Amino acid sequence: MRDLPLPLALTARLSPVLVIACAGWALTSGPFAAPSAEHHAAGQRAGHTDTGSSSGAAPSPSSAPSATAQPTTYTSAPAPCTAIPEKTITSLVPKAKTAGKEIPSTDSELRRTCSWNALDGYDYRWLDVSFEIMRSEEAARTSYQQRTEEKDGGGAVPGLGDAAYSHVGLSTEDKQQSREGMVLVRVANALVVVNYSGSDFDSGKAPATDEINKGAIQAARAAVSTLEGSRPS
């Protein structure tokens, strides 16, 4: 790549990963994201490993909602762009604007996402943090279970929320590697979702699995702390 002018070479290396990152956001936080559990029927079902439908049937009597409404701990999502300390942002995403960018949501009371990304020399990092508020703790449990079962591998993260799961994957596009870590945390009737990824456009390699996994967990701990601080008294 040294034979090309820097801007052109960088664009050639960066474009595939940006496409992947944007597509990933669209599937997890954007218009193509799976609907939150609060929009699913009550009977529907929702660590890490380094790797490369909903039903239209009516709910059975056993899965039908209880006549008694379940209490909810959280009623609205906290502001995601201030959920992570600035020093954590500058550490995980060097050169990123610490203010972040909030992604538009169809219901900002129940689902909010903030994103940070930057290129430091040839080193690229992307971080996004989402808060999702479910109608009940049962709905949050169902969504958490469904999402973790959909992942190939991964493992529990002890001491984080009521339940937490991490997964790291490796992908390659046009000989450029990207490694992405995902951490999903359930706290009462809320879910916290963190995605953290990186690429080195000079070597074509991805950051180490341990670096990405620890970074994603660090961001998740900060986000959970913010969520718990927003808990109504």
Residue percentage of the chain with pLDDT more than 70? 70
Domain range for residue 110?
A: 6-51+72-229
- The domain total for the chain is 1
Q: What is d(CA 131, CA 112) in angstroms, rounded to the nearest whole number?
A: 5
Angle at 124 between CA 169 and CA 127, to 5 degrees: 65
pLDDT at residue 48 greater than cutoff 60 = no
- The answer to whether position 107 is within a domain reads yes
pLDDT at residue 65 greater than cutoff 70 = no
pLDDT at residue 165 greater than cutoff 70 = yes
Give the C-alpha distances (Å, rounded to integers) separating 108 from 34, 71, 113.
16, 21, 9
| 181, amino acid identity | G
Q: What is the pLDDT of residue 69?
A: 52
pLDDT tens by residue, 106-156: 898 999 999 999 999 999 999 999 999 999 999 999 999 999 998 888 999
The residue-averaged pLDDT of 199-219 equals 97
- The answer to whether position 61 is within a domain reads no
- The answer to whether position 142 is within a domain reads yes
HEC assignment per residue over 91-150: HHCCCCCCCCEEECCCCCCCEEEEEEEEEECCEEEEEEEEEEECCCHHHHHHHHHHHHHH
- The answer to whether position 79 is within a domain reads yes
- The answer to whether position 158 is within a domain reads yes
- The answer to whether position 59 is within a domain reads no
Concatenated DSSP letters of 139-200? HHHHHHHHHHHHSSS-EE-TTSSSEEEEEEEEEEETTEEEEEEEEEEEETTEEEEEEEEEEE
pLDDT at residue 104 greater than cutoff 60 = yes
pLDDT tens by residue, 84-93: 999 999 999 9
- The answer to whether position 217 is within a domain reads yes
pLDDT at residue 178 greater than cutoff 70 = yes
- The answer to whether position 148 is within a domain reads yes
Residue 49 sits at φ, ψ, to 5 deg, of -135, 135
Mean pLDDT, the chain, integer: 80
